[in-house]
Each structure stands twice: as structure tokens, then as C-alpha cells.
Structure 1
Amino acid sequence: MMRQYELVDRVRQYNPNADEDLLNRAYVYAMKAHGAQKRASGDPFFSHPLEVAAILTDLKLDDATIVAAVLHDTIEDTAATREEIDNVFGKEIGALVEGLTKLKKLDLVTKPAQQAENFRKLLLAIADDVRVLLVKLADRLHNMRTLNFMPAEKRARIAQETLDIYGPLAGRMGMQGLRGELEELSFRHLMPEAHAMILARLEELKAKNGAIIARIEKELTDQFAKRGIKVLVKGRQKQAYSVWRKMERRSIAFEQLSDIYGFRIIVDSVEDCYAAVGVAHTTWPSVPGRFKDYISTPKQNDYRSIHTTVIGPGSQRVELQIRTQEMHEIAEYGIAAHALYKDVAGAPDGSRTGESRAYRGLRRTIEALSGDDSEKFLEHTKLELFQDQVFCFTPKGRLIALPRGATAIDFAYAVHTDVGNSAVGAKINGRIAPLISELHNGDEVVIARSDTQTPPAAWESVVVTGRARAAIRRATREAVKAQYGGLGRQIIERAFKRAGRSFVEDKLKAALPRLARASLDDVFVAVGRGEMFSGDVVRAIHPDFKEERASGPAPAKSESGWFGLNKVANLIFKVPGPGDAEGSIPIRGARGDLPVRFAPKGGAVPGERIIGIMTPGEGITIYPIHSPALTAFDDRPELWLDVRWDIDNARKELYPTQIVVTALNEPGALGIVATTIGETGGNIDNIAFVPHATDFREMLIDLEVWDIKHLNAILSQLRAKSVVSKVERVSE
């Protein structure tokens, strides 16, 4: 275990002005707080925060970060409190320690919601201070180094979490050295056989090609020296996990890999980087398509280098990474190579002085996604941060970095939320293209806009960036709120008018607690969506209000499919039940002698929300709330009626609906479908076969069910059958 003076010496090696008293106090405080606590390995628990601090001294971080590392488990695992940390070490260190404190252990596999919420809190803490991330990554690295002392099940869970979140997060922040070790340790614990196999193959290759590598290194150095370029050549071998990931991603064998060995060419200046490329390409043939300039176009994690591949000495493919010493440090240490912890003032654009692009991008991503719930936040953050990137351009030359697989819609939202919300078309490299077109490196994208455009909800399933998904969801919520809010207001106003009462907004505001809604808009939307009955709103203000219900025998169904309705006193009208000329299905929400029918395709069944559409001169059509046909009436709210089922539970009736079943075209398939429906209590009224592919047949089934719960049970049972490919309810 590291001694007190050793910790101080490590910090003073790179910071002669270190606050020795602060470091000593932190050491003593944490040692006393953890007391006799032990780790799974049997070592004193206090050894863990010291090792975390040691990792951070290798990154040459400031005193406050080192102290936060020493104290990072005190609030969580000891009797120490945030207030006490503030009093002893100051609020800055207290905030860092609290940002690192976990409520409970993260659990990726068995408790996704809990894990998502903790990850959300971690990233929100990172957005406030990047040092939280640096300590957290060092904490995870030491835990991974000692993971073999944990039970096998826990090892697998922690390793998977590291591979899914912490390794990519380190890479996203440009800390490739730390990312490599995290991924390598995770790979070893998750797939020990594959790890051992690849390590063995790499050792064989090293023994076989050792002389060639030394020759390439010498020849590279000599060639650059002849041209007057001072270089340092460093050979490197891919790590086992990188080899495995590339084999899996490209579905290739170990022997097909051409970049297991590479060489880093460290030069003095940017000019020398490009001069070195010239030397390499004039000395050896270059491999087409293998040149990437990350100096003129840095990656979003601040990585800068020139990559090229040549056919070098011995006809070997040689990958070269050409960079300056400063670029090399940033490539290895990422944001830890920046003096971010010295930042005290913000820039006018909201960035922070000395802040890296990687950290600035992370903060803005987190801020854009912070409105989502925990699980969506985790999903979208993974999409936004942990994917390979493509680089595209606006017409004015602005560089937009996006995850691989991003569409023109993602591009529009990356430019600005308003651009995405109003996007109606795109031009990619001067050619008109669909907004869902996938983008590639170097594409120039122009977005066509319209002030009347509202982003379709379906876009959410097309885009790949979390920012776009969050913005589309917000816009969809606002559109739904506007649509149903206006309808709900009209329904409520009509309800008050029918009741002979005045509708006063102030009185409704006072009654909001009785309706369990936070605002008037929430009430209007709830009524418009069919989630609340307008009569309940009237009673919330006028408790003495009573609805008069009347009913009467309904006439038989006419040939046209419409029903003549008896005039009723208030809000009840009744539609004849299936096969029942004298009975009726009471539906609440309209008055008058009006013809009424169900939507001809799919109908409506008890238990689902319904809407009435009044067609002047024709009557009322009843639709399920989810019916696509309702979109045709979005701009005609005056036609919408608030209607509800009013079913007598003692009276059981079957109601018609339609489903489409896609089944294998083989003997017995129809029998299985019919038997399943019969065993579940449904009644088949008619079956029509739709021409389809040779291997499959579509059946359009007129079905009778008790209610929506019964219908869903039938659909579920059908989907479970091996002969059934797909089952859907028909909706007009």
C-alpha cells in the first residue's frame, strides 16, 4: 500500500507547488474513515482509493482531483457526510466527491432502470466538472485490475458494463491508453478462451516477424533522416480485444488482418507531419483508400494524426500514424492532457476556457438529452457518444460530426433543433435525396425547410443520434398537445353549455387538484385524448351537477350500415349490438336523432378509447383513438365528439373486428389458426385469402371478440404459433 509521503512525492514530481498539507490531511482522513474495511482480495479497503489516486498522478492532475480520488468512497462507504467534507476540505472537493458517490452499485444486466439512472447522474455530474469523469475512469480501471477476486457472476457483470460504457466513454474523451486497458481486461474476463487464443496467435506472429519489424523500424528512421526530418519511430501491436473486434465486425480470419502491426512517427511540427507523408509515399507504394487526415479534420475527441498505409520493406503492409509529440499525448491521455481543471471563467458562447472539443461536445450532448427519462437517456447517450463517426459539411463549410449510419435528419438536428423540426427535404452533394438517406464521410448536405412542417413521429425510429430523437419526441408531444388540447377545450365548452353552466378558466384552475392535473392544458389534452370525461370536468367545478341518462330501444340496422337513433334527453345514445335488433350498445357522448356506425374496417371494441366523427348530413362514425383514418380530420376539430362506452357488465356480447394473419403456406396452417382462435373464445365470421408470396399466405379474418383484452389475448396466442409469421389488427 502506498505510503503518505509517497503520494506527496508522486504529485510533487510534476507539480512542485503541490499543497502538501491538503494531500496529507486527505490521506489521514480517508484512512481513519475506512478503518478496518477490507476488499474482496483481503487487502485494506483504503488501498483502493490510494491506487486510484496513483493512476491520476500518472495523468498529472491537480491537487483537488488527487484529493477527491483519495476521498471518493468516503461518503458512500463510511460515516462521512458531504457537509463534513466541505468543512474539512472545501466545497470544491466536496462537490467532486459527491459527484462520484453512487447511491447503489450499478447493475447493467439485471436492473437496467437502476443502472440507467446511476449512469445518468454520473454524466450530469461530468457535465458540471470533467474531473468527476477522470476519477471515475481511474476508479473503474483499478477495480478491473483486481476483478479476479470477485465472484464469477459479478465479474461478468462488471466486465460487461466496462466494455459497454466505461471503455467507450474513455475513448470518446480521447483517452485511448486507458480505454485500451479497460477493454483488454473486460475481454479477458468475458471471453477468456478467445482472449487466450488471440494472445497466442499474436505471440506466434511476433516470434515470426520480429526481425522484419526491427528492419522496418530502422528503414523508416533512415529514410526520414535522409530527407532531413527528425523523427521518433515507435512500433506498436494491436491489442487482443482490438483484433477480436475487427475480426467480428468484418467477419474475417486472423490471417486476413493487415494492420496488426503499425508504426507511430513522432515529428516536431505539423509541417513535418505532411513532409513525412510525402517521404512515405515517394519511398513506398501507398495502399489506395487507406489515407486519413485527422490533423486538418480532427475527430470529435480531439484526436489528431495522419494515417496512411504503404507497402513497405519486405512487401509488408505497414500502417503509419504520423503526429507531433503534443498530438501523441492527447491521443494517449485525451482530455487529461488539457489543463481543464484550471478553468475558472466561461466564454461568451457557453464554452469554458481551455476546454477541449471532446468535453465541450460531451457537455452539450448531455444537456440536449437531459430531459429524457433515465433509460432513454442511457440509450440515446450510447447512440450519441459510443459510435464511429462520419464527417459531413454544411454549404458554408461547417464540419458536422455524426455517428456512423446517421441520416440527413440527424444532420439537420445537429445544425440546429429548429432546422430539424422544419426539414422537408435534402440535397446531398448537389443531388436531391430523401431525408432518410444515410450520410458518408465528406458529404455536403443542404436542408430544405418549411415553416409549416412538423416532424413526423416515425422519424424517431429512423434517426440514430440521441439529440435528434429527443427533439422529435418533444416536437411530437407539442403537436399532440396542440391537437388534442384544442379539441378538448371545445368538448369541455360544449359540455358546460349543455349543462347550462358558464365555463370560466379561473374556476377550472382552482379545481385542478380534484382532476389530478397540473394545468389547464393537461385537462384539455386529457379530454381530447379520451382519457377524461367532460362531465367529470363540469362536476369538478359544480359538484351538484348530475347528468341525465336516457335510453330506449334502438331500431334495426339499415341496409346502408347506419343506425337510426332515438332522441335522448342528454348524453346517451345507443348503437344496436351485433346480431341484436332490439338490444343496444350504449355509447356516451352525443345527443339527438343521428345515424351512427362503426368504422367499416376493424371496428371498435369495448375497452379501447373511441372518438366520434360527425359528418354533416350523414351522421356519426365511431373510430378507435389509434385509427389512422382520424388524421384526415386533424384540421377539423369541430367534427370531433367526445364519446365513451357505457356497457352493462352483466350483459355479454361479441363485437366485430378484423385481423390479418400471415402464416406459412403449408398443410394444417389454417387449422392451427382457426383452432387457436376457437380455444381462446373468439368467433370467426369470415376468412378471405389475400394473394401473397409462395411461402406465405395472408388471411383477412372477420373476428368477433368480447372486448379489447380478449382481442389482445387472441393476437398474443396467434403470435406464439410457429406457423404464424405476423398478426395485425386492421385499422381504417
Structure 2
Amino acid sequence: MSTEQVREVYRAYLFSAEVHQNQSRLTGEPYIYHPLAVARILAGMRMDQACIIAAILHDVIEDTEATKEILQVQFGDEVAELVDGVSKLTLMDFRSRAEAQAANFRKMMLAVAKDIRVIIIKLADRLHNMRTLGVMRPEKKRRIAKETLEIYAPIANRFGINSMRQELEALGFKAHWPRRYAVIKEHIRRNRGNRKEILSHIEHALRLRLQQEGIENESYGREKNPYSVYRKMRDKHLSLSELADVLAFRIIVDSVDTCYRVLGVVHNLYKPKPGSFKDYIAIPKANGYQSLHSILIGPSGFPIEIQIRTREMHQLAECGIAAHWIYKTPRNGRDTLPRGASEWLSSLLELQSGVGDSMEFLENVKIDLFPDEVYVFTPQGDILVLPRGATVIDFAYAVHSRVGDSCVAARIDRRLTPLRTRLHNGQTVEIITSEGAVPNPAWLNFVATSKARGYIRAYLKNIKQQEAMDLGRRLLDKEMRAYGSCLEQISIGVIEQALAEWKIDSLDSLLVDIALGNRMPLLVAQRLTGQAGGTLPEGSYRDHNSDPLVIRGTEGVVVNYARCCRPIPGDAITAVFNPGKGMVVHRQECPNLHEGKVRESWLELDWEAGIDNDFPTEIRVAVGNQRGVLATVAASIAELGSNIENVAIEERDGLTSTLILIIEVKNRKHLANIMRRIRTIPDVIRISRTLG
């Protein structure tokens, strides 16, 4: 830094020391020690002046009388925005600590999307807090350690800051599981002593061979990370004794060409383990990490892990995105970032606009913090990096949200595959779309990326809102017809007055409340027509001769069909309002309809003519225990254009069984035809439709 820049940093220190003057940490030391330690970490990463000043000031908005406006006047907009991005939402009320933490995280990540230095300051802040965690109460220590392992260490990994990730993992592991940490640390130390001679021999052999080839390099053995050892034990269900004692070496050279030369040299010195080579130089990881990885079989059969990289790659691997401040001077935190980091930050902005609350946002971001990736190709040869476990649907949304919304099938390596198929490295994926296709709620059961999950949820939320508004309007109009009126005839003033009384922000929200059963349409109709508390006119719709509400069977999530009786078109039906979920439709003869249901919440329904949808219903078929009887029944059902959703078998005795089949039918006539056909099968004893 120039003399003037150093002077500004010192002025920030004086300001921070003054406003934190009467504060101290739990360790007993003056509070200013903490922001100075954070600034020192960032100075070690060679961050820029604004970042170091913001680190010195990062707690002043949260813990002192200083405001963002004061920082803007004293140190400029850039520093003030950085400090504000790191500060917590202390002035808001939250129902729980978890909700407050999620809201703080959401605010911080949105600030990160504008300027990446916010997360670098926050990671340094968390790192120093973890270094001084010993004074905390045990339960608080475990909570902070868990949060570090679940969120901050994976974020450091996502942005390629390896040195910080490893220390956060080690400190978090030590604080959360101290005994496990001690056992694994001792195992690593003991093995290091036992293998000292072998380690020295391999190191000497590598250096000698590279020297003979005239390749200048730096090479050294690497220390294992206790948390990575623990994670491998946990994920692969291995004991410490079952873990292969991998000796790890890193070789740093001057150019990419030399990396590949070194690879040839070490493969000639020791035989490579088949299938273990990974070329992260040609195809970098999503966080920008580049290296050649190979596992060799060394003396006495010991596996040797080799990493080969250039000095710039090594700097990037240790400092990640922070390395860009060493080689370049970006105008702001988003300039010159690695493509993977920039894309992830952009996806955060898309994600936050589609989620309802901070808890959902945090849940979705956690999904994206997987350390492992799969590399798949588009038909044009472009590479997409997805988390391990990603499916065809995740790929479709990674290409574009419109592709994801309208995908109906896919080809992997030119073969048609289901949408839930998990992807593997090197596959070529082609998405088949259809103009009328829409996201399926079942996709949420298997998608792996937050982008896919966010878009599917946003679509379903919007559809539910539209369906609820439409149904709510129909329900309200039906009630209002009993008073000779309809919603269109009510003046805006009357509607607004009623909304104010009920503390509802809009008519749309009122209609949704009605559809979801949170507000009875009869009471709303009485209030809007001025008949509140009055009696219904004679001959109103609640008389037995009145016209029931007609449903189409396509109302979606606001109209649910009871699983106890599974109504289908042609059945006499009645709905019961279920607060928060909408209407549940039962057959009128269903015993569950008459048990404990308040009749005021009932609504008479009828089916619209000409419905062509498929509806599930359940039948029970008693059959003799003869080979092939199930196949014969299934074939008869298929011949009449029905699909079997589920089959269960109840053993009655050694001679008979009962098949419980859930089949899709158009209406009662379609069901009657199927049951008539099944009765003609010789081994069928009895057939009936399940009721309640």
C-alpha cells in the first residue's frame, strides 16, 4: 500500500478503538483486539485497502453508536457498504434464534452478491472467533462449531479459500466433537512417526528424479486434515484402522506444460493406481481450483497422493477468490471473479427472489454447498458443473429456467432416460421440452440443486395462489347469489372497508383465505351484502333443492380428494373445509365425512359435465391363490385403458388372497366396466370398491 493508504488504515483503527473503547471480549481483552485480528488475517491474504479498513470497522454498526451514514462520511460509500453487509439485522424481531440466523445469513449473502469482499471479511471474522472459542459455554461452543461446519467452511470451499476452509474445519471439529478430534489427531501423529522413514525415502526419490529431468520445483509432504479423515470414516462407514494410510505430496512448478511433464515423470517412478487420475487443469472445479491429481503405488504398496500445480494455481488453491486481489486490482468485488464463483453469486440473486422466507433461503443455499461435483456436457460440447447427486431436472434448470419448467424427457449419451436419473462424470445430456409442459411437484423429491428447487417451488406457489383465487371467487359468488348479489356488484368502498376490518391487504388475499378454508365464504358474503347476522332468504342455495358448486377436477392443490373414499366423477360428493389446506372432497356415503365434521363447514358439490381427467380409486379383489392371477387381473385393467398406481396383497389363508389395487379411471361408468371385466376372470371370487 502507499503511504496515504496506510494512513487511512491507521485512521480507521483510531476510529474503531475510540467507539469500542469501553467494550471487552469474553476473554477479558479489549474488544479492538478482535477487529485488528480480523484485519491481520486479511492483510496476510493481501486484500485491498477498503477490505482491511472494513475489517477494522466491521462491528461498529452492530455494537456501537456509529451508523452507516457516519461511516459513509468518514470513510466513503465503499467501506460503509462492506461494513453494512457484514453487520447483523439487530433491529428486527424474529420468532426464534434459527429464524434470526437465517435472516442474517440471507442479508449477508445478498451483500456478497454485490461485493464478494463481504464474505471474505465474514470468513476472517468467523475464523478469529473460532480461534478464541475456548471461553464460551459448552452448548454455545457446539452451536457455533456446528454452524461453522455446516455453512462457513463449505462457503470457504465454494470460493476456493482452502487454507481458511481447513482451519475452520479443524477448529469446528475440535469444538463440536473434542474426543473424536483428539483420537484422530493422535492417530495421524503416531502414523507420521511410524512412516517417517518411508516418507523421507519417497520425498528423496521424487526430488532426485525431477532433478535428473532438469525440472525446477518445490515439493513437500502434506499434513492430513482431521476433519476430512473423520468425514471419510463417517461417509464410508470405516474405522480408523480400515482407512488406507495415504501419503500426500504436493509438487509446485513454473508452468502448465511442466505440470504434465512432472506427471509423466512420477508415473514412470511409481505405478499409478488405475482410475485415480483427475485433470483439474483442463477442467477446473467450480470454485476455480486447478491441479493434476494422481494416486501412485509406492514402496511396500503404500498409496501416494500427488498434486501437481503451478505457483499461481497454488496461490489460488490456498486463497481462492482472495488471490484475485494479489494479481489484479478489481474496480469492485464482482469484477474478475472465477466463472464458477460469479455464476453461483448470480444464482443466489435468482434464488432469493423466488423463496418465501429466510429459513427456506438458508436451506436452499446449504443444498448448493456440496464439495463434490460432476462434470457433464451439453450436446454442443459445453461443460456444466453440478453437485454430486444432481439429476436430469437439475441439468435442465442449469441450462435455463424455461428449459427446466418445460422439460418432459431426456437423452443421456443418446439414450432416453427418466427425469430422475442421477448424472455421472462425462455424460452428454440432451433435454427434450414440450410447449405445454409444467413443473411437477414430485420433482422436489429428487432434485439436488437450490436453483431447481427454488424455481419449482416458485411455480407451485404461484399456481396455488392463482387456483386459490379462482376457487375463492367462485365460492364467494355462490354464497352471494343467495342474497341476490355477486362480487362485481359490490362497490370498491365496501370491499376496502371490510378488508380494513379484517386486516387483509387485498381482495386477492381474501379470496385465497376463502379457498384455503381460513375464512368462511358465508360470513364474507353476509358482510359484503350488509346481511351480517341475518337469516338466509327462503329458497337459498343451502336448501336441498339448491344448485351445488360445480368442480372441474383441475382445481389443483386447493381441492384435495379424500384418500379414504377416493371420489371419482359420477359419485355424489360433498366437500369439507380444512383450514389452511382448502377443500377436501368426500363421497357422500363416506363414513369419515359424518364423523366429527361440523356441518357448517360442508359444501355440496357436483362434477362438471365432460370431465376427461384420470382419477385414482381403490378396489379390492378376492382371488384364489393360483399362479398368474395377478397378471390376468392387471391385463384386464390395462385392456380397458386404465393404469395401476399401486398394488398390495393381503393373505387371507392358504387358499385365497385379497388384491388391493389403486387404479386410474375416468368416471363411475369406466370403473363399472373394469369391475365387470374382472368378475369374468375364473379365479376372482369377489370384487368391491373401497369405502372409508
Using the size of structure 2 for normalisation, the TM-score is 0.77
Structure 2 counterpart of 1:163, from 119, 139, 149: 149
Aligned equivalents of 1:245 and 1:75: distance in 2?
38
Structure 1 counterpart of 2:70, from 75, 84, 87: 84
Please, which runs of 5 or more residues in structure 1 have no aligned partner?
1-14, 347-351, 551-567, 576-587, 593-597, 605-611, 632-642, 649-657, 660-688, 701-729
Greater CA drift, 35-44 or 326-335: 35-44
Structure 2 counterpart of 1:354, from 325, 336, 344: 336
1:549 aligns with 536
The answer as to whether partners of 2:541 and 2:548 remain within 8 angstroms in 1 is yes
TM-superposed CA distance for 1:118, in Å, is: 1.6
Aligned equivalents of 1:506 and 1:19: distance in 2?
68
Residues 1:487 and 1:614: Cα distance change in structure 2 (over 3 Å): farther
SS at match of 2:195: helix
1:366 aligns with 348
Instruction: Kindly provide the CA deviation profile for residues 418-451 of structure 1, in whole angstroms up to 9, marking residues without a partner as x.
Output: 1111111121222211111111122211111112
Structure 1 counterpart of 2:439, from 455, 465, 472: 455
The answer as to whether partners of 2:288 and 2:338 remain within 8 angstroms in 1 is yes
TM-superposed CA distance for 1:175, in Å, is: 0.5
Across the aligned residues of Structure 1 and Structure 2, the Cα RMSD in angstroms comes to 3.9
Whether 2:267 is the aligned partner of 1:284: answer: no
TM-superposed CA distance for 1:229, in Å, is: 2.7
Whether 2:278 is the aligned partner of 1:308: answer: no
2:470 aligns with 486
The answer as to whether partners of 1:281 and 1:310 remain within 8 angstroms in 2 is yes
Structure 2 counterpart of 1:392, from 352, 376, 379: 376
Aligned equivalents of 1:379 and 1:26: distance in 2?
36
SS at match of 1:691: strand
Aligned equivalents of 1:628 and 1:383: distance in 2?
33
Q: Which amino acid aligns with 1:368?
A: E
1:23 aligns with 9
1:344 aligns with 331
Instruction: Kindly provide the CA deviation profile for residues 362-413 of structure 1, in whole angstroms up to 9, marking residues without a partner as x.
Output: 3123112213211111111000123422121211122222221111111111
Aligned equivalents of 2:90 and 2:691: distance in 1?
46
1:572 aligns with 542
1:474 aligns with 458
Instruction: Kindly provide the CA deviation profile for residues 280-302 of structure 1, in whole angstroms up to 9, marking residues without a partner as x.
Output: 22332110121111111111111
Aligned equivalents of 1:647 and 1:222: distance in 2?
86
Aligned equivalents of 2:449 and 2:475: distance in 1?
39
Alignment of 1:459-538 (within 5 A): 459-495=443-479, 499-501=483-485, 503-504=487-488, 507-508=491-492, 511-512=495-496, 514-515=498-499, 516-536=503-523, 538=525
TM-superposed CA distance for 1:480, in Å, is: 2.4
Q: Which amino acid aligns with 1:421?
A: D
Structure 2 counterpart of 1:329, from 298, 315, 322: 315
Whether 2:642 is the aligned partner of 1:691: answer: no
SS at match of 2:122: helix
Q: Which amino acid aligns with 1:201?
A: H
The answer as to whether partners of 1:392 and 1:444 remain within 8 angstroms in 2 is yes
Whether 2:425 is the aligned partner of 1:417: answer: no
TM-superposed CA distance for 1:472, in Å, is: 0.7
TM-superposed CA distance for 1:90, in Å, is: 1.4
Alignment of 1:432-447 (within 5 A): 432-447=416-431
Aligned equivalents of 1:291 and 1:522: distance in 2?
58
2:36 aligns with 50
SS at match of 2:410: strand
Aligned equivalents of 1:218 and 1:447: distance in 2?
52
1:564 aligns with none
Residues 1:693 and 1:75: Cα distance change in structure 2 (over 3 Å): farther
The answer as to whether partners of 2:523 and 2:532 remain within 8 angstroms in 1 is no
Whether 2:252 is the aligned partner of 1:252: answer: no
The answer as to whether partners of 2:393 and 2:404 remain within 8 angstroms in 1 is yes
The answer as to whether partners of 1:307 and 1:321 remain within 8 angstroms in 2 is yes
Greater CA drift, 541-550 or 419-428: 541-550
Aligned equivalents of 2:12 and 2:535: distance in 1?
75
Aligned equivalents of 1:181 and 1:505: distance in 2?
68
Q: Which amino acid aligns with 1:215?
A: H
Structure 2 counterpart of 1:220, from 198, 203, 206: 206
Aligned equivalents of 1:88 and 1:101: distance in 2?
18
Aligned equivalents of 1:38 and 1:507: distance in 2?
63
SS at match of 1:237: coil
Q: Which gives a bigger RCO, structure 1 or 2 (Cα 8 Å, sep 6+)?
A: 2
Q: Which amino acid aligns with 1:134?
A: I
Aligned equivalents of 1:591 and 1:294: distance in 2?
63
Q: Which amino acid aligns with 1:570?
A: S
Instruction: Kindly provide the CA deviation profile for residues 169-189 of structure 1, in whole angstroms up to 9, marking residues without a partner as x.
Output: 111110110110111111112
Aligned equivalents of 1:48 and 1:502: distance in 2?
66
Residues 1:198 and 1:542: Cα distance change in structure 2 (over 3 Å): same
Aligned equivalents of 2:82 and 2:181: distance in 1?
36
TM-superposed CA distance for 1:529, in Å, is: 4.2
Greater CA drift, 199-208 or 333-342: 333-342
Whether 2:236 is the aligned partner of 1:266: answer: no
Residues 1:509 and 1:266: Cα distance change in structure 2 (over 3 Å): farther
Residues 1:56 and 1:533: Cα distance change in structure 2 (over 3 Å): same
1:638 aligns with none
Residues 1:445 and 1:69: Cα distance change in structure 2 (over 3 Å): same
1:240 aligns with 226
Aligned equivalents of 1:93 and 1:201: distance in 2?
46
Whether 2:415 is the aligned partner of 1:431: answer: yes
Greater CA drift, 372-381 or 258-267: 258-267
Greater CA drift, 352-361 or 209-218: 352-361
TM-superposed CA distance for 1:256, in Å, is: 3.5
Whether 2:588 is the aligned partner of 1:646: answer: no
1:556 aligns with none
Structure 1 counterpart of 2:115, from 120, 129, 139: 129
Greater CA drift, 381-390 or 162-171: 381-390
Greater CA drift, 514-523 or 150-159: 514-523
Aligned equivalents of 1:385 and 1:254: distance in 2?
27
1:298 aligns with 284
Instruction: Kindly provide the CA deviation profile for residues 317-362 of structure 1, in whole angstroms up to 9, marking residues without a partner as x.
Output: 211111111110010000110139943379xxxxx43122243133
Q: Which amino acid aligns with 2:259?
A: C
How many residues align structurally?
590
Aligned equivalents of 1:513 and 1:237: distance in 2?
71
Greater CA drift, 207-216 or 355-364: 355-364
SS at match of 2:110: helix
The answer as to whether partners of 2:515 and 2:582 remain within 8 angstroms in 1 is no
Aligned equivalents of 2:513 and 2:519: distance in 1?
5
TM-superposed CA distance for 1:546, in Å, is: 8.1
SS at match of 1:53: helix
Please, which runs of 5 or more residues in structure 2 have no aligned partner?
551-559, 587-596, 603-616, 619-647, 661-689
Residues 1:531 and 1:508: Cα distance change in structure 2 (over 3 Å): farther
Greater CA drift, 253-262 or 164-173: 253-262
Aligned equivalents of 1:693 and 1:147: distance in 2?
64
SS at match of 1:353: coil
The answer as to whether partners of 2:439 and 2:459 remain within 8 angstroms in 1 is yes
Q: Which amino acid aligns with 2:31?
A: F
The answer as to whether partners of 1:424 and 1:448 remain within 8 angstroms in 2 is yes
SS at match of 1:308: strand
SS at match of 1:436: coil
Aligned equivalents of 1:36 and 1:523: distance in 2?
53
Aligned equivalents of 1:613 and 1:573: distance in 2?
25
Greater CA drift, 55-64 or 159-168: 159-168
